[in-house]
Structure 1
Amino acid sequence: MPVIRFHALPMPYYICSGHCLTAPGRGHPDRYALGEFDLLVVDQGCLYIGEEDRRYELAEGHALILRPDSHHYPAQGCREITGSYYLHFQTAGVWDVLSDAEGASRLEEPQAGEDGGAADHHPRVAAFDIRIPQFTRLLNAGKMYELLRQLNELERDSHLGAVKWKQQMLFQEVLMQLEASMADKIPRPGADIADQAASYLRLHYRERISIRSVGEALNFHPVYIARCMQKQFGCSPMEYLMRYRLEQAKKLLLQTDLPVSQIGQDVGFQQAAYFTSCFGRWEGITPREYRQRFMLGHSRNGLNG
């Protein structure tokens, strides 16, 4: 089962949708490189579709995403009247297609320096992957039909900004439904360990933490935890901890008038000089300069500088 991976942000965006009936003997249009993703969801009958060298039987309750860069054609005509929803969408971001083996692992995350560099893993950027199956049997077909029906009803007013916004929100739910249809088929042991480690670090970031203490808390070998976090987040546990501490420090710099040295201690740095060094290496300026640069704008928003 190929999996389509979108690197976000930016998010994939909705273009248009509709519902059509295909008569017996007819099939999906023959198209070359449409330039948009085309999601098809069958609610009656069966569509027989080819994409390059692959063939799909798209029966009721199934979904298929046709790629924007491929040749799509009717593999054969429908044998009965077939109803299907279609939804066109696109992304301004990076996307790729994972093989069956790659798609079965949540650990194949982009590493630092790929598709945008280490900044993609900066906690403020909040970069992440959206993985959805190209072809799947829907976990909750009824829910998907309802979402697509709502999108279609909004099409007549889609020239209105408020309606476009609502359609985009519904589209995000469509993506979540697609993701949910394969969630129970994908093993997550490594990703779960990485998530547990991240949660532990966020909870105890003010304390003295070592990779050994993380391993003891989670009952896994520190090397295994480090490998899982590197694949999941693109950094080691200690680098993740350092970045999270710096994010908390930036909040305190902008929202309080605490001394810089006190802020460093409050977020887990034992020495003020080391805090200033780490902050400058990551942000390019000192904590005091950061506070001075942004203090005025935040003061106007009612925050203490």
Structure 2
Amino acid sequence: MLIFPAPPFPYVLHSGFAALEVGERHLSRRNLDCFDLIVVFRGRLYMGEESSVWTVEAGEYLILRPDLYHYGADVCEERTEFGWVHFRAAGEWHDEMPKRLPAEERALLALPQKGTVRTLQHTIETLTEIDELQHRGEKLRRTLRRQHAFQEMLMLFEPAGLEDQSPLQAQRVAANAANWIEEHYSLPLTAAAIGKALNFHPAYVARCMKTTYGLTPLDYVKQVRLRNAQRLLMATDESIDGISERVGYGSNTYFARLFVRQYGMTPSEFRRSYR
């Protein structure tokens, strides 16, 4: 997954169309200094990036990173036609979900590195528009139109789970996430694991929970764990180490530090205050 906090949005540099005949393979490049988006219209393209290898079928796309070596992994077995766009991230980008979500006025554009285009014909038309605008019309106007068309095309590659949803839908997702966390808080949990369990992208789940509860999923996990630790400290004689492990913390030291930060006293002090 490639993550682009936006704005600023990625911007297009160059674009074009190409075809490879039987027995030909894609060029090899190192330090291209930009992302390379490839959309296959016909045939099958074999691409590699460092140790990763993909087969890109007609109707699929692949985004190659600017910082890794990419190459044609094998020769084409049939005539293969594709469009390409070289683009750059105007700001930061990530290959995994950032630990901190962007501010409210920004969003996360999350693109699978390889995927299926929603409407191939529309994608071809958009690529054609982007390519033709390189050489047509007044420079500022065509640059803005190319950028707009490119951003619209990127949105077609975004997983459905990240599309805008109604407030009611967001509340339902947040409630489902909260219920799932309540049932599984003792397990090793990550934002990715929570998103996978709910069949939504982790960034979307995080936004729903932040909007509904004012907490990210992992903040909510911490609250649930500490609340259950309080209950066990008051109701049982179980050791602090045992309680720490039961609520999902492998490290007693880390558990104690979180507890003090939340309640202003150590777990032992809390237990004594209720005895």
Q: What TM-score does the superposition give when structure 2 sets the normalisation length? A: 0.60
CA positional deviation for 1:150: 1.2
Q: How many residues align?
A: 193
Give 3-state SS (helix, strand or coil) of 2:47's partner. Answer: strand
Which whole-Å CA distance do the structure 2 matches of 1:135 and 1:4 have between them?
10
Residue in 2 that maps onto 1:155: 134
1:130-171 CA-to-partner distances (Å, cap 9, x unmatched) read 011110122211111111111112122377110000000000
Pairing of 1:114-129 with structure 2 (within 5 A)? 120-121=102-103, 123=104, 126-129=105-108
1:6-51 CA-to-partner distances (Å, cap 9, x unmatched) read 1112111111110011122111111112110000001111111111
Residue in 1 that maps onto 2:118: 139
In structure 2, relative to structure 1, the CA distance for the partners of 1:109 and 1:64 (3 Å cut) is same
Which whole-Å CA distance do the structure 1 matches of 2:152 and 2:112 have between them?
15
Is this contact kept in 1: 2:5–2:107, CA < 8 A? yes
Pairing of 1:28-177 with structure 2 (within 5 A)? 28-98=26-96, 110-111=99-100, 120-121=102-103, 123=104, 126-157=105-136, 160-177=139-156
Residue in 2 that maps onto 1:302: none
Which whole-Å CA distance do the structure 2 matches of 1:233 and 1:110 have between them?
16
The runs of 4+ residues in structure 1 deviating greater than 6 Å are 191-194, 227-230
Residue in 2 that maps onto 1:8: 6
| Matching of residue 195 in structure 1 with residue 138 in structure 2 | no
CA positional deviation for 1:194: 8.1
Give 3-state SS (helix, strand or coil) of 1:29's partner. Answer: coil
In structure 2, relative to structure 1, the CA distance for the partners of 1:187 and 1:9 (3 Å cut) is closer
Percent identity, aligned pairs only?
29
Amino acid at match of 1:146: E
Pairing of 1:136-285 with structure 2 (within 5 A)? 136-157=115-136, 160-179=139-158, 182-183=159-160, 186=161, 195-196=170-171, 231-232=206-207
CA positional deviation for 1:89: 0.6
Residue in 1 that maps onto 2:21: 23
Which whole-Å CA distance do the structure 1 matches of 2:69 and 2:138 have between them?
30
Amino acid at match of 2:207: Q
In structure 2, relative to structure 1, the CA distance for the partners of 1:159 and 1:77 (3 Å cut) is farther
Amino acid at match of 1:143: H
Which whole-Å CA distance do the structure 2 matches of 1:67 and 1:159 have between them?
31
RMSD of aligned residue pairs (Cα, Å): 3.5
Which whole-Å CA distance do the structure 2 matches of 1:194 and 1:142 have between them?
31
1:83-109 CA-to-partner distances (Å, cap 9, x unmatched) read 1100011112111113xxxxxxxxx56
In structure 2, relative to structure 1, the CA distance for the partners of 1:192 and 1:73 (3 Å cut) is farther
In structure 2, relative to structure 1, the CA distance for the partners of 1:19 and 1:110 (3 Å cut) is same
Amino acid at match of 2:3: R
In structure 2, relative to structure 1, the CA distance for the partners of 1:158 and 1:60 (3 Å cut) is farther
Q: What stretches of structure 2 of length at least 5 have no aligned partner?
A: 183-190, 195-203, 216-275
Which whole-Å CA distance do the structure 2 matches of 1:110 and 1:155 have between them?
38
Amino acid at match of 1:93: G
In structure 2, relative to structure 1, the CA distance for the partners of 1:56 and 1:162 (3 Å cut) is same
In structure 2, relative to structure 1, the CA distance for the partners of 1:232 and 1:109 (3 Å cut) is farther
1:52-91 CA-to-partner distances (Å, cap 9, x unmatched) read 1111111111100000001101111111221110001111
In structure 2, relative to structure 1, the CA distance for the partners of 1:230 and 1:31 (3 Å cut) is closer
In structure 2, relative to structure 1, the CA distance for the partners of 1:94 and 1:76 (3 Å cut) is same
Which whole-Å CA distance do the structure 1 matches of 2:47 and 2:213 have between them?
49
CA positional deviation for 1:236: 7.3
Amino acid at match of 1:89: F
Amino acid at match of 2:95: V
Give 3-state SS (helix, strand or coil) of 2:133's partner. Answer: helix
Amino acid at match of 1:111: R
